[in-house]
Amino acid sequence: MPRKKQTKRGRPKKQTKRTKPKKTRGRPKKSKRGRPSKPKKPKIKKISVQSPKGTHDILPENQKYWIKMRKTINNVAEEYGFKRIDTPIFEDVNLYIKGTGQSTDIIQKEIYTFKTKGGDAYALRPEFTPGIVRSYIEHGMKKRPQPVKLYTLGPVFRHDKPQAGRYRQFYQFNFESIGDQSSLSDVQIIQAFIHILKRLKIKNFTLYINSIGCPICAPEYKKALVQYYRKHRNDICVDCKKRLKENPLRLLDCKKTKCKNIIPEAPQVVDFLCDECKEHFKETLELLDELEISYILDPLMVRGLDYYTKTVFEIWEGDQKSEIGALVGGGRYDNLVEMFGGKPTPAVGAAAGFERIISIIKKQDIKVREKKKPEIFMVQLGEMGKRRSLKLFEEFRKKGIRVGEAFSKDSMKSQLKAADKRKAKIALIIGQKEAIEENVILRDMTSGNQEVIPMNKIMKEVKKRLK
């Protein structure tokens, strides 16, 4: 007979049967107190998210500025006979390399490019003009009455260094007049942008204007410019040393202090203009005088894009140029349509940035009205009250009467608080009793007085009180 196992104290150890745990058949395990234990909530892996560098959200409180801008642009465009066009936000990369210029900062430093699986190379648009010219050629707009006057607005993309007033995704609006070589088109584009700024009530801005010549006279000027800068080669930045070989006109647009000190003594393009360019520029200035549009002749101003010819201009805030940059920039581009395979077609256009103009509106503390807030607020209690309120809300909407609501809230106190916060004049209260009896409690939010109005008469009563 086998011995029983001894414990430490010498007593025999009790033998117990090993039993399998009972199956719960899907029932939740009970806690020590007998209550079912709550299932553990799975852990959610948290990630840090924020907008990409150089982009920004347009929040609800800022939308009033954007609405005002769009409305003003659309109105001025209509008055001047410009028609809306929208082009894709990406195009064949060669459109910008060929049109904007291989040696420009936009192409060398700022353009966003990508390739498709099929190997096609595209670029996010860094500006509007090449895409609009491409559309003009592709859709045979040459056959339409000339000039074809187009405008557009939307986002553009540049891999610029993000800083105050500069973004990687920002918004522009463009006006283009294609098919007219006269200085009238130059002046009308300038006029349209000045009227937009005036309508936005922007105070104290200055128009700077110049002519950079044409393919006939510009080469002589570039030679003189190169000769001048070669004498100062050791005093200019690395970028300007490249520009000296690739794009001499861009030397005059450098923002670095040591290069800016050399610019004032550089040769002036007006001394090299051919007869045609001189005449065109003279007519442009005379028309500006006729329209009493003040300007400053800036003989050393150029634009940073290769396609410009003859007239170039910029509009800046205040009496002098600042670090924030121009509000508006543009000029004539008489060779771009032909460069893209179209027939020789003169053209002129300009662009301005939403963000930069809005920053000036805020800086100058220009008041922008928001949409009128609803003067009526719907308050509901209970399931029947909520259903009847939803139906009444729709009836008011169909009649063009804006009504505020907080249907997600159940408490009458919180709904009246929301009505008071939105400065509503009238609150319409519908509870279970009112829904059954087909009535509405009309509450004057100023005095607090309430009265019961039959449902079929509430529309008429509200209209009467809002007059």
H, E, C per residue of 187-228 = HHHHHHHHHHHHHCCCCCEEEEEEECCCCCCHHHHHHHHHHH
CA distance 74 to 66: 12
Residue pLDDT, tens place only, 408-466 = 898 999 999 999 888 899 999 999 999 999 999 999 998 999 999 999 999 999 988 88
Question: What is the longest distance spanned by two Cα atoms in the chain?
Answer: 131
**b/e burial code for range 193-228 (CB count within 10 A of at least 16 → b):** bbebbeebebeebbbbbbbbbbeebbebbbebbeee
- The answer, yes or no, to whether residue 25 has pLDDT greater than 60, is no
Mean pLDDT of 69-74: 97
DSSP 8-state assignment for residue 454: E
pLDDT of residue 255: 80
- The answer, yes or no, to whether residue 10 has pLDDT greater than 80, is no
CA distance 276 to 216: 10
Domains of the chain: 60-217+273-363 (3.30.930.10), 376-466 (3.40.50.800)
Query: Lowest-pLDDT range, 20-24, 175-179, 418-422?
Result: 20-24
Residue pLDDT, tens place only, 218-269 = 999 999 999 999 988 888 898 888 888 888 888 888 888 888 889 989 999 9
Residue 117 φ then ψ, to 5°: -60, -25
CA distance 102 to 246: 9
Q: How far is CA 385 from CA 255, 398, 430, in A?
A: 66, 20, 5
Per-range mean pLDDT, top range of 11-25, 96-110, 184-198, 375-389? 184-198
Tell me the pLDDT band of 46, cut-offs 50, 70 and 90: confident
pLDDT of residue 19: 55
DSSP 8-state assignment for residue 449: -
Mean pLDDT of 376-385: 93
CA distance 463 to 292: 49
| Backbone CA torsion sign across 362, 72, 156, 189 | negative
- The answer, yes or no, to whether residue 371 has pLDDT greater than 60, is yes
pLDDT of residue 29: 58
Tell me the pLDDT band of 157, cut-offs 50, 70 and 90: very high
Mean pLDDT of 85-94: 95
pLDDT of residue 129: 95
Q: Which of 245, 69, 264 is nearest to 151 (CA)?
A: 69
Report the length, in residues, of the chain: 467
Evaluate whether 253 touches 326 at the Cβ level (below 8 Å): no
Q: Which residues sit opposite 36 in a β-bridge? A: 30
Show the DSSP H helices in 374-443 as ranges. Answer: 382-398, 412-421, 432-437
Helix, strand, or coil (residue 443): strand
pLDDT of residue 378: 93
Mean pLDDT of 15-44: 63
The number of beta carbons lying within 10 Å of the beta carbon of residue 277 is 22
pLDDT of residue 459: 92
Q: Which of 307, 306, 326 is nearest to 193 (CA)?
A: 326
Residue pLDDT, tens place only, 295-351 = 999 998 887 678 899 999 999 998 777 777 889 999 999 999 999 999 999 999 999
Helix, strand, or coil (residue 431): coil
Tell me the pLDDT band of 4, cut-offs 50, 70 and 90: low
Of 99 and 10, more confident: 99
CA distance 441 to 242: 77
Q: Which of 18, 343, 354 is nearest to 156 (CA)?
A: 354
pLDDT of residue 42: 84
pLDDT of residue 22: 55
pLDDT of residue 306: 80
Evaluate whether 374 touches 422 at the Cβ level (below 8 Å): yes
The mean predicted confidence, pLDDT, of the chain is 88
CA distance 272 to 252: 16
Assign residue 291 a region (left: φ > 0; alpha: ψ between -120 and 50; beta: otherwise).
alpha
- The answer, yes or no, to whether residue 23 has pLDDT greater than 70, is no
Residue pLDDT, tens place only, 103-143 = 555 556 688 999 999 999 999 999 999 999 999 999 999 99
Residue pLDDT, tens place only, 262-300 = 998 999 999 999 999 999 999 999 999 999 999 999 998
CB contact set of 144 (below 8 Å; sequence gap of 6+): none
Tell me the pLDDT band of 177, cut-offs 50, 70 and 90: very high
Tell me the pLDDT band of 400, cut-offs 50, 70 and 90: confident
How far does the chain reach from its first CA to its final CA, in angstroms? Answer: 110
